[in-house]
Structure 1
Amino acid sequence: MDTITDPAALAAALASERPPLLLDVRWQLGGPPGRPEYEAGHLPGAVYVDLDSQLAGPPGASGRHPLPDLTGFAAAMRRAGVTRDRAVVAYDGGQGWAAARAWWLLRWAGHPSVAVLDGGLPAWTAHGGPLTTEEPAAAEGDFVPEPGALPALTADEAAALARRGVLLDARAAERYRGDVEPIDRVGGHIPGAVSAPTAQNVGPDGRFLPADRLAERFAALGATPGAEVGVYCGSGVSAAHQVLALAVAGVPAALYVGSWSAWSADPGRPVATGPQPG
């Protein structure tokens, strides 16, 4: 388990002698908080993890969802029961962004086996999977982060990558062009970045496109296994989903965690607008 899993495979894994640890990461930009949804019903054995407080640091100059303090992140993951020798499966309400953020952070921090439940909780229930309101008493984990297992970019590195490689902008196309900007200081994109909306990684059911179709999509954007690829979004959440989609397609990619929220907060950073050339 190192990218995605489906409900049938997850059900089989949960029935095995060494079931994975489940993390419920339901979250929506701007709320409401996911904890009440977790308490109303979640996968049996799942532990709730809060994206804003446990999978990100306080918002500021480094972005709206910067990397969390490593000590605090490690403690939160151990409280959730994360151990190095047990697989982890993260899921959310179906969009996949929050679960992908948990996937990326744990993989970046050196956990060897993390997957996202493709389609999240809706896919699980559609498959006939049960839900419960019982909260497990998670045994303390032993996970010790070793950051750097997945590549991360600084703002300067993202700018340089846009010039020499392929930097994908995972936001909606209208935000890339600068037509609208509902959240950050200014609209537009990092000069040289390529528009690649995260929403196009999935089908109408919210599940990832097949690996070959994802590979075709990214190849058309210049993101191939031999290219140097980076991704950013608004605040490093939907871009994690894009990095996961690229991994499914067999394309390694680096994440600019600060993303547009950090880039646009610095008035010294250049901003491009309009459609990409060609």
Structure 2
Amino acid sequence: MAVREDFIVHPSELASELSKLSTLETPTLLDVRWRLAGPPGRDDYTAGHLPGAVFLDLDADLCGPPGKGGRHPLPDPDDLQRVLRAAGVRAGHPVVVYDLGDGVPAARAWWTLRWAGHESVRVLDGGFPAWVAAGLPVTAELPEPEPGDFTVRPGGMPVLDAAQAGRLASEGVLVDVRAAPRYRGEVEPIDPVAGHIPGAVNLPTTDHVEADGRLRDADALRSRFAEVGVDDGVRVGAYCGSGVTAAHTVLALNLAGRTDAALYVGSWSEWITDPDRPVA
């Protein structure tokens, strides 16, 4: 079963790691603060960030351009490798990602690095607000990281395409992690078509966090997933509007021990580009 510490780090633990003298032990920090409707996360980064952290833009640096593959498709491997090396990401060296506190963009960054073949990536639980609340240092100084040597090798995380997502909805458990009104098709504030993939079950990713944005413990997550049929031996995957929020559910599934959980990266924004795909 997955160990929580493999995927999550608390502020005090991270501060202890960063205090080590050896740079071989201290993790590379990536600031991925992002909002769906803006303003840009770089403004937050410029105002203050964890010492040594490098900013990466989720849209421009960690995803491909929007189109038929959805609003946040997989990045080109060569482009991603160039971005990660410029940020100082090294092979076999730990990485910690953090965001504004809800864990969603950090989870997508975590998932993307894991998909790219990096095995030591963790999310700062509670993000930047938790770091500040713990009284830990913040700086506006811009770092100059040494270039990294990480080589992107796609395939490190399970991925679903549209056809596979459709089959999983009937043969396993496909979790739609959007808010219930969007799942039911009552409202659709972003995409041109409302509804959900037939057979998908609804479990909003907001159910996986405490009031302060930190992820629930593994037992609570397992119990919640079991309520929608995620049992041992049952294949499971997740989707949302564009594959960002669903990455947070995949992180929660990993914490619950389901390291085989797949992400439908294109999600609803890709599903509806083909009028022959059914909508419920």
Same fold, judged at TM 0.5 (above): yes
State the Cα distance separating 1:59 from its structure 2 match: 0.7
SS at match of 1:149: coil
Match of 2:139 among 132, 139, 144: 132
- Paired AA for residue 245 in structure 1: A
Match of 1:267 among 244, 255, 275: 275
**Alignment of 1:143 onto 2:142:** no
Q: Output the aligned Cα RMSD.
A: 0.9
SS at match of 2:221: helix
Structure 2 counterpart of 1:159: 166
1:182-201 equivalences in 2 (<5 Å): 182-201=189-208
Most deviating of 221-230 and 157-166: 221-230
State the Cα distance separating 1:74 from its structure 2 match: 0.7
SS at match of 1:125: helix
CA contact (8 A) 1:61 1:262 kept: yes
SS at match of 2:188: coil
CA distance in structure 2 between the partners assigned to 1:49 and 1:85 by the alignment: 20
CA distance in structure 2 between the partners assigned to 1:107 and 1:251 by the alignment: 15
State the Cα distance separating 1:225 from its structure 2 match: 3.8
Corresponding residue pairs, total: 272
Structure 2 counterpart of 1:11: 15
Identity over the aligned pairs, expressed in percent? 60
Runs (4+) of structure 1 exceeding 6 A deviation are none
SS at match of 1:267: coil
Structure 2 counterpart of 1:275: none
**TM-score using structure 2 length:** 0.95
- Give ranges in structure 2 of 5+ residues lacking alignment: none
Deviations 1:163-212 (Å, cap 9, x if unpaired)? 11000001101100000001111111001000010111101101001111
Deviations 1:57-96 (Å, cap 9, x if unpaired)? 1111110000111110110000000011210000001111
- Give ranges in structure 1 of 5+ residues lacking alignment: 273-278
State the Cα distance separating 1:155 from its structure 2 match: 0.1
Most deviating of 87-96 and 261-270: 261-270
SS at match of 2:6: coil
CA contact (8 A) 1:5 1:115 kept: yes
SS at match of 2:238: strand
CA contact (8 A) 1:84 1:112 kept: no
Structure 2 counterpart of 1:276: none
SS at match of 2:246: helix
CA distance in structure 1 between the partners assigned to 2:233 and 2:31 by the alignment: 34
**TM-score using structure 1 length:** 0.96
